[in-house]
Chain A
Amino acid sequence: MLHLGRLCMVSAAMALAACTTGSPRTDPPPLTALNRVADNPATQLQWLDRVTWGANASSQAELSRTGLARWMGDQLKPQPLPLPPAAQAQIDAMTLSRTPLDQLVIGLEAQRKAADALPDEEQKKAARQAYQQQLNGLVREAQQRFVLRALYSPNQLQEQMTWFWMNHFNVNLRKGNIRALVGDYEENAVRPHALGKFRDLLGATLHHPAMLRYLDNAQNAANRINENYARELMELHTLGVGGGYSQADVQELARVLTGVGVSLQPADAPPPNVRPAVRAGYVRQGLFEFNPNRHDYGPKTLLGQPILARGLAEADEALDRLARAPATAHFISRKLAVYFVADEPPPALVDRMAAAFTRSDGDIAVTLKALFESPEFAASLGRKFRDPVHYVMAGVRLAYDDRVALNVTPMLNWINRMGETLYGHETPDGYPLNEAAWASAGQMNTRFEIARAIGANGAVLFRTDDKAPLEKPSFPQLAESRAVLAMQGGLSAETREALAGAKNPQEWNTFLLASPELMRR
């Protein structure tokens, strides 16, 4: 994070480069090589700042104990590990955790219909408001759960990748009932595959009602084609624009996807009356439904090859083709490199990652391993501009370490103020990941206000009732943090001068969090 030591940054890069240059083999060096360069606290902080949601003293102690190579191995292959009890208890108490998705959504749908049917206008209005408030409550729970995990999960890389893929496979909470669906989308479609096989992740998003609703495929039927999902599936999810598909491919893929939709019928309701010839093709899994009556069974060609399967299996065949296309390997690898290395990542690195992606049949962890072991990664530490979500998470993790927040709503508000609301991006491209998008005048100004909110009044995170008095002191003890002490040598003269002139600890915190060094990871 900090410009620590140009020296150790350069030496880290050189040490890694030494492992790879002059060797004819194309395999990456073993992770154990990393330990040689990561035995000082400042470098460990830099690694933590990039791989986790933000460095702090306790995670540094953990990394130091484990060793960087093994720690990275654990991050790439996450085991089910508990959150701290104070965080897990908050999640366990959520409606989201206690109600299966189909039950929740079918119940809400009944509630919506009942509200619409009320004859009295006043009652109708009140009932509709109650329905909207339920949806708002559910999305707030999903946002809070995400923040708690990002702050405290031992599987930090998995949490970072969950955000990355939620952004890649973006859905937007303002559309329809997605507020009720998005928590399950993250929990059951995205997080389990965040470090797994890309093809599985792609398939899971296609099978989720949140995606089918958001990109209108729930409405896509034979002779009533809707191209929306088909286009974004190729442009944004797999091949990338310019990845070799045409308008005709968009139309053909839309036909492949006809009948892939959502059912809000009770789980035990009898299936719809499907014509006998294709009745066996009917599929219902939770809210997901494939309805053969709505599917176009005509012959199709995608990317120059015919689609041979029939019914829902056509979608699988199409996803196989898209997930394994060289354009996809490159598109996904580049986006990962933008997220973890630089806005304009070195093409050679992207090529190596794409090769790892292809060799491993789209294994995300293998692709990331190639990234983390690269000299380009080591050389980039401390230089990647934080987007707002990263900025808020890193600030709170640094300020309060493993002390569990009891109310993360203020954090959600800070993220909203900077324009990166969780699940709030309206269009399917997701939030931008580059510096130019987040380093404008208005952004920086808002960031300094957030720095002050954390630095001078951070105790709002430990008050469950908004009206209750704040504990004293109402700000974190940043100057005493071992992590902050370890990074101080890397601060610029200007930052040290500002800190020296701070009038009180709140202002010291504010200046540190507002400093150029804390804007980067």
Chain B
Amino acid sequence: MQRRELFKLMAAAPFAGAAGQLMAAPAAEGAKLLVVFLRGAYDCTSLLVPTASDFYYASRPNIAIARPGEPNGALPLDSNWGLHPALAQSVMPLFQRKQASFIAFAGTDDLTRSHFETQDSIELGQALGRQRDYRSGFLNRLAGVLGAGPVADVSPIAFTDQLPIALRGDAKAANMALAGAARAGIDARQSQVITAMYRNTPLAQPVAEGFQVRDEVMRAVQAEMDAASRNAMSAKGFELVARRMALLMRERFDLGFVDVGGWDTHVGQGGARGYLANRFEELGRGVAGFAQEMGDEAWRQTVVVVISEFGRTFRENGNRGTDHGHGTVYWVLGGGLSAQAGGRVVGEQQALSQATLFQNRDYPVLNEYRAVFGGLFRRMYGLSPAQLERVFDGVAPKELQLV
């Protein structure tokens, strides 16, 4: 085996017990978390390019991203990995400032390779192999745990037109799509009358919450409009949404969720340029815009985690695309990432060769998502084992020292 095909095992040695808590004094009260779900199983191998692997270049004769230094090549991250060049202006500067990190070989043990099954099971965050409880998503359980102790008044929101499964559950959670935030036609008195109509129905809470969030969003968008000379005005698509999310999370919400679609690239996904590159560029601009709009102070207390249901086949298929795979790459961004994570590729890793592919097809999962999120939540919020157990039952948190 060639030396450059070997990965250094860079996994943070698993810290026993509560070592993490000793190192990072949790500041739960001001901590903010945004989860970005890339629906459609994005091709993580094009994002975090295994530039040291000849096997990668042999497996993807048409869509591989060239090595660093070559024309349109990957941006070097370390001796094994490079970043897709479409992120040169957005995520790469964050990585260089040690405000971005990638977890390779991440994901779930769910093996259906179905987008919808796997999205659901991740959002639910429950142990596999048992009856699912669709009324309880992991972010909602986190909100419940936080609201009962570490954070006085936790405010979760999904920036989507439907409430995602991750936020369904007992804790109150709002949702509001931001792309087309329109003027309100229902006035304050009418809102009160309608709220009263629902007071004895199961929909009383979402109705009241909806009016309240509408008013918050209107104020934030109005503030954005008033600041007519700012960058945000020219933003479009996901970047516009991301900047608005930042306005709202900076001022009002501390737990956010958004999803971004368009990643199911079975055909013609492109390489350094093309369809997938354009998605990456748009996403990167959104993430960087979010960081900028938060401002230095809030950004230091914010963690953004970008996830997807699974990765794609390691080899390209017959149509210069990729099919459904298994392990993927998560992104972790924030102004307060630890020195062990910021500007690094973290988590358990292994050499990439045909022999180490999972089912001779895709990445194995070495960093199970519930363990990874569990470890993150413990450090972000200082959660006790009992509190973590309520969010992810039966999981031993994995200590990646992300913050």
Q: Using CB atoms and an 8 Å cutoff, list the residues of chain A in contact with chain B.
A: 216, 219-221, 223-228, 231, 235-236, 241-242, 247, 250, 417-419, 426-427, 429, 432, 436-446, 448-449, 452-453, 456, 492, 494-495, 497-498, 501, 507, 510-511, 514-516, 519
Name the residue on A nearest B204 (C-beta): A516
Asked whether A442 lies within 8 Å of B264 as measured between CB atoms, the reply is no
Asked whether A226 lies within 8 Å of B319 as measured between CB atoms, the reply is yes
Asked whether B115 lies within 8 Å of A429 as measured between CB atoms, the reply is yes
Name the residue on A nearest B161 (C-beta): A419
CB A412 to nearest CB in B, in angstroms, measures: 14
Asked whether A444 lies within 8 Å of B206 as measured between CB atoms, the reply is yes
Is the CB of B168 closer than 8 A to any CB of chain A?
Answer: yes
Interface residues of B in 175-193 (CB under 8 A from A): 175-177, 180, 182, 184-186, 190-191, 193
- B interface, over-half SS: loop
Task: List, in ascending order, chain A residues with CB within 8 A of B197's CB.
Answer: 492, 494-495, 497-498, 511, 514-516
12 new A-B contacts at CB < 8 Å, known A216-B319, A225-B317, A516-B197: A426-B261, A432-B162, A440-B175, A441-B176, A443-B161, A443-B162, A445-B211, A449-B184, A453-B185, A492-B197, A494-B197, A516-B203
Is the CB of B209 closer than 8 A to any CB of chain A?
Answer: yes
Asked whether A228 lies within 8 Å of B323 as measured between CB atoms, the reply is yes
Asked whether B207 lies within 8 Å of A441 as measured between CB atoms, the reply is yes
Contact flags B331-365 to A (C-beta < 8 A → 1, else 0): 00000000000000000000000000001000000
CB B304 to nearest CB in A, in angstroms, measures: 21
With known contacts A436-B168, A440-B162, A442-B210, A226–B318 Cβ distance under 8 A:
yes
Please tell me which one of the listed residues A220, A442, A514, A519 contacts residue B161 in the complex, with CB atoms under 8 A apart: A442
Asked whether A452 lies within 8 Å of B186 as measured between CB atoms, the reply is yes
CB B118 to nearest CB in A, in angstroms, measures: 10
A sample of 9 inter-chain contacts (CB < 8 A) reads A227-B324, A247-B359, A429-B116, A439-B203, A441-B206, A442-B163, A492-B197, A494-B198, A501-B193
Task: List, in ascending order, chain A residues with CB within 8 A of B206's CB.
Answer: 439-441, 443-444
Is the CB of B38 closer than 8 A to any CB of chain A?
Answer: no
Task: List, in ascending order, chain A residues with CB within 8 A of B173's CB.
Answer: 441
Please, how many angstroms separate the alpha-carbon atoms of A212 and B27 in the complex? 53
Please, how many angstroms separate the alpha-carbon atoms of A247 and B113 in the complex? 8
With known contacts A426-B262, A445-B210, A436–B319 Cβ distance under 8 A:
no
Is the CB of B170 closer than 8 A to any CB of chain A?
Answer: no
Most chain B CB within a 10 A radius of its CB, from A220, A444, A494, A497: A444
Please, how many angstroms separate the alpha-carbon atoms of A438 and B162 in the complex? 6
Q: Using CB atoms and an 8 Å cutoff, list the residues of chain B in contact with chain A.
A: 39-40, 112-117, 134-135, 158, 160-163, 168, 173-177, 180, 182, 184-186, 190-191, 193-194, 196-201, 203, 205-207, 209-211, 213-214, 261-262, 264, 266-267, 317-319, 321, 323-324, 359
Name the residue on A nearest B177 (C-beta): A442
Please, how many angstroms separate the alpha-carbon atoms of A498 and B194 in the complex? 7
CB A505 to nearest CB in B, in angstroms, measures: 14
Please, how many angstroms separate the alpha-carbon atoms of A418 and B40 in the complex? 22
Name the residue on B nearest A440 (C-beta): B163
Asked whether B162 lies within 8 Å of A494 as measured between CB atoms, the reply is no
Task: List, in ascending order, chain A residues with CB within 8 A of B193's CB.
Answer: 498, 501, 511
Please, how many angstroms separate the alpha-carbon atoms of A242 and B196 in the complex? 44
Asked whether A231 lies within 8 Å of B113 as measured between CB atoms, the reply is yes
Please tell me which one of the listed residues B115, B174, B267, B318 contacts residue A441 in the complex, with CB atoms under 8 A apart: B174
Please, how many angstroms separate the alpha-carbon atoms of A501 and B197 in the complex? 12
Asked whether B163 lies within 8 Å of A436 as measured between CB atoms, the reply is yes
